[in-house]
Structures are given as C-alpha cells and as structure tokens.
C-alpha cells in the first residue's frame, strides 16, 4: 500500500516514519523546500525523530519526500497533517487545510482513502473537506483521525497513543482503522466524524481550563507566601477525583491555546455558551501582565533593568516556539522600559533575535520554560522569578 502524508512537521513526520517502518511505501509531501532537502539528506528537523530513523527508512525505499503534490495520483491513502492556527483576531484559520485539500483534489486517485489529522471544528470534515474533494469528480473515502502528538514525551508516541477514528461512511472508518492498525496499538472508532472532531477539541479545552485555573491558584499561593507546586503535589496524593496541573507563564504550542478557540467559535456559531473557555483564554492572555507586574515589584520598577528570560520555547525539551508565552511577556516587559534578553539553547534564533548566554550580569532572571539540561548555576546570585511555581 502506498501512502502520502501531507505535512512533514511535528505531526506528519512521526506519522510518516511510523507508517514506513511498518512496511508502507510512504511519500512525505511539504511545500517547505528547505525541510524536504534536509529530510532527503537523512536529517530530522524535530527531536522526536532521529536522523538515523529517517536515514533507515530512506535506505529501504519505504520513505521519500517531495514538494510535488502530483505524487498523490499514485497512492492509496492520503493523510493530511497541516497547521490549523488562529488568525490575528484569535479566530480559526483554515487556510492551510483548504490549500492542502485543493491540491489533493487535483491529483486524487479514484477510490483513494483520505484522512484528515489536522484539528478542525465539528462539521468541517463533512461540510468543507468533503465538498473540496467532491470537486475532483473522483470517488473516495474520507475519515477524520485527530493527531495526538506531544513533542518530547518519552513515554507516549504515535505507536502507543490510542487513536480515534471516524469516517463519513462505514467503509471509510473500516479502511482508516485497517491503515492505522499496522502501526498503532489501540484504535477507537466513533459513530460520526462530528463526535471525534468534538472529542479532539474537548481534550485540549479541558487542559486549557485546568491550567488556567491552576495559574489563578498559583497567584493565590504567591500572595499567601506558599509554594504552589507543594500545594498541588500535596493535593495529588489523593488517589481519586484529582488530576495535577502545574502553573506557567501561559499555555503555548500548537494545541492547548488554539483548539479551544475552534470549539468556542463553533459554539458561537450555533448559539451555545462557552464561558469556561472564554474565561480560561482571558486568564491565559493576562499572564504576561501579571508576571511583568511581579517583576516590577521585585525590582522596584522596570525602567532600564536588565532582565533575562530563560526558555522561550512553549515547553521544556523542544525547540517549538508556536504560541509561546514568551512573546507576550517580553512585550510587556519592554513596554515598561526593561532591557530584555533571552536564553534558549534549543531555539538559538527567534523573532529576529539570538539567544544570550546565561550569566550573572542581569538584574533579574525569569524562568519560563528552561530545558532539562539548562545549567541555571551560571546565573550566579541573580534574583530569579520562576513562572512555573516552586522555589
């Protein structure tokens, strides 16, 4: 069976490699020529996939990469893993999805199975994606199976993370389950694509709401002069009815700050409330101001103060800066007159700036998402504000 995976980033590349390792002939398609060139040379752009894994599947002829969508004309299965971000108004941006499926429709083979893994609002697979593919004039099966990728997670990966699947038809569901069954251990079918589309949004809305709540609790603990992480860990000793979440300077990445807004936008469209999501989003957006104010109180003002932010990726252990809370905090600090630098030994270059070395030449260091190997002792006696809780 030949498979095309459209999008070779944090989601598409692990999927493509897992499928190739299981024996499928996989074509990775991406419009980023630099990325395709690196992959062709056996160089992985993400930490979760090693160079050796890429080189091995290339050497077995089970994996090749291209920017050419016409390769889709020869495949049995097409899987789409493209970004679904928010626009400047924090509304869903489906431009990558529409562009990908418009290209797929030009070359789709008759009878092919098409699976969307990109996060979308309920009804999008049936109303938008199916309509685009129908314009091809070809017969096809269409299914939805949302990605569940957690970069830098050493326990859960493509193969052992349970997969949700639903097709527009019974045939599409069965074919998608058979496809994933070659390399995914657990697959759960849904009764409709709308159920699975909503389940995906629920997963990350749950996380946004609980993290935002914990960020409020952390502010409460700070005002009391107690350690928020100690409080959370104490509560987590209860073996039922509690799940620990931990504070931060704001949620980031491609899922938690984004997916809930797709749900809230759909709720607005159909006239149902999304108050928890709206409030959680408001709390998340307000965290840069909170930590900038905290820093100002520590330093008796921010004007001309030298501040170093440590870890501008959205989470420790990855080089991904999508929706990073660092951007809002840097802006808030600079607006107050601070001289802000940042250090991140995985990111190195970001937002037209370069990483600054750790040293004791700052008035304050703010820990956002320091990586596990980051040597904080290099800060010397620099005062530290830890946005992640703890001392």
The answer to whether 183 and 158 have CB atoms below 8 angstroms apart is: yes
Tokens 């789709």 sit on residue: 108
Query: Tokens in use for 234?
Result: 């104490």
Q: Note whether residue 197 is domain-resident.
A: no
- The residue among 145, 161, 191 that closes a domain is 191
Query: What pLDDT sits at residue 337?
Result: 97
Residue 33: Cβ-neighbour burial (10 angstroms; 0-12, 13-18, 19+) = exposed
Average pLDDT over residues 60-83: 97
Name residue 342's beta-bridge partners: 309
Partners of 141 in the beta sheet?
113
Residue 164 is encoded by which pair of tokens? 């949700």
Secondary structure element (H or E) that encloses residue 193, with its range: helix 193-224
pLDDT of residue 158: 96
For the CA atoms of 226, 232, 236, 237, what is the dihedral angle to 10 degrees? -10
What integer is the mean pLDDT of 40-61? Answer: 94
Q: Is the pLDDT of residue 391 over 80?
A: no
| Per-residue pLDDT, 90 | 87
- The secondary structure of 339-365 as a DSSP string is EEEEE-TTT-EETTEEPPPP-S-SSEE
Same domain, yes or no: 184 and 207: no
Among 7-11, 251-255, 368-372, the least confident range: 251-255
Give the domain CATH number at 250. Answer: 3.40.50.720
Helix H, strand E, coil C: the string for 257-304 is: CCHHHHHHHHHHHHCCCCHHHHHHHHHHHHHHHHHHHHHHHHHCCCCC
Q: What are phi and psi of 39, to 5 degrees?
A: -65, -40
Could you read off the pLDDT of 269-285 as tens digits, one per residue? 999 999 999 999 999 99
Domain boundary at 147, 163, 191, which? 191
Domain count, the chain: 2
Residues 210 and 186 in one domain: no
Token pair for 211: 């993290």
Q: What is the mean pLDDT of residues 16-25?
A: 97
Q: What is the mean pLDDT of residues 286-294?
A: 96
Q: For the residues 159-168, what does the mean pLDDT come to?
A: 98
Q: Please give the DSSP secondary-structure letter assigned to residue 9.
A: S
| 391's tokens | 């001392």
**Beta-carbon contacts of residue 122 (< 8 Å; ≥ 6 apart):** 194, 197, 198, 201, 266
Catalytic residues: 255
pLDDT at 280: 97
The fraction of the chain above a pLDDT of 90, given in percent, is 97
- CB atoms inside a 10 Å sphere around CB 297: 11
Nearest Cα neighbor of 215 from 192, 249, 240 is: 249
224-276 pLDDT per residue, tens: 999 999 999 999 999 999 999 999 999 999 899 999 999 999 999 999 999 99
User: Does the structure show a pLDDT above 80 at 390?
Assistant: no
What angle, 0 to 180 degrees and rounded to 10, lies between the N-to-C axes of helices 193-224 and 275-299? 30
pLDDT of residue 389: 84
| 176 in the same domain as 211 | no
Compute the distance between CA of residue 117 and CA of residue 103 in angstroms, rounded to an integer.
16
**pLDDT at residue 331 tops 70:** yes
Q: Rounded to two decimals, what is the model's pTM?
A: 0.93
Q: Are residues 23 and 156 in the same domain?
A: yes
| Domain final residue pick, 158, 191, 224 | 191
Domain with 290, as residue range(s), is 202-386
CA 269/CA 316 separation, integer angstroms: 36
User: What pLDDT, on a 0 to 100 scale, did the predictor assign at position 254?
Assistant: 87
Residues 25 and 141 reside in one and the same domain: yes
Task: Tell me, yes or no, whether 218 and 284 share the same domain.
Answer: yes
């Amino acid at each position: 069976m030949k498979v095309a995976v459209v999008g070779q980033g944090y989601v598409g590349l692990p999927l493509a490699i897992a499928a190739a390792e299981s024996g499928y002939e996989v074509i990775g398609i991406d419009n980023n020529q630099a990325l395709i060139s690196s992959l062709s040379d056996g160089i992985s752009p993400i930490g979760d996939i090693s160079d050796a894994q890429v080189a091995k599947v290339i050497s077995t002829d089970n994996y090749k990469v291209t920017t050419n969508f016409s390769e889709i004309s020869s495949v049995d299965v097409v899987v789409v893993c493209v970004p679904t971000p928010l626009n400047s108004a924090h509304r869903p941006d489906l431009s990558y999805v529409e562009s990908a499926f418009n290209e797929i429709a030009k070359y789709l083979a008759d009878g092919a199975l098409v699976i969307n893994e990109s996060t979308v609002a309920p009804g999008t697979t049936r109303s938008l994606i199916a309509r685009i593919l129908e314009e091809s004039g070809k017969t096809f099966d269409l299914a939805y199976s949302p990605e569940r990728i957690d970069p830098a997670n050493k326990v859960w990966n493509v193969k052992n993370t349970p997969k949700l699947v639903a097709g527009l038809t019974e045939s599409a569901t069965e074919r998608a389950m058979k496809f994933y069954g070659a390399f995914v251990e657990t697959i759960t079918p849904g009764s409709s694509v709308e159920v699975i589309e909503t389940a995906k949004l629920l997963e990350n809305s749950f996380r946004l709401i609980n993290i935002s709540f914990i960020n409020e609790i952390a502010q409460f603990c700070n005002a009391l002069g107690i350690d928020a992480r100690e409080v959370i860990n104490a509560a987590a000793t209860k073996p039922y009815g509690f799940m620990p979440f931990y504070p931060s300077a704001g949620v980031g990445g491609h899922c938690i700050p984004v997916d809930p807004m797709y749900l809230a936008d759909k709720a607005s469209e159909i006239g149902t409330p999304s108050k928890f999501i709206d409030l959680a989003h408001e709390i998340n957006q307000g965290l840069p101001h909170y930590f900038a104010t905290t820093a100002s109180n520590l330093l008796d003002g921010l004007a001309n103060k030298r501040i170093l932010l440590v870890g501008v990726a959205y989470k420790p252990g990855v080089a991904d800066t999508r929706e990073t809370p660092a951007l809002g905090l840097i802006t808030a600090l600079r607006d107050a007159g601070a001289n802000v630098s940042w250090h991140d030994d995985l990111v190195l270059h970001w937002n037209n700036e370069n990483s600054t070395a750790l040293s004791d030449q700052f008035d304050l260091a703010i820990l956002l998402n320091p990586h596990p190997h980051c040597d904080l002792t290099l800060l010397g006696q620099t005062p530290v504000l830890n946005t992640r809780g703890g001392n």
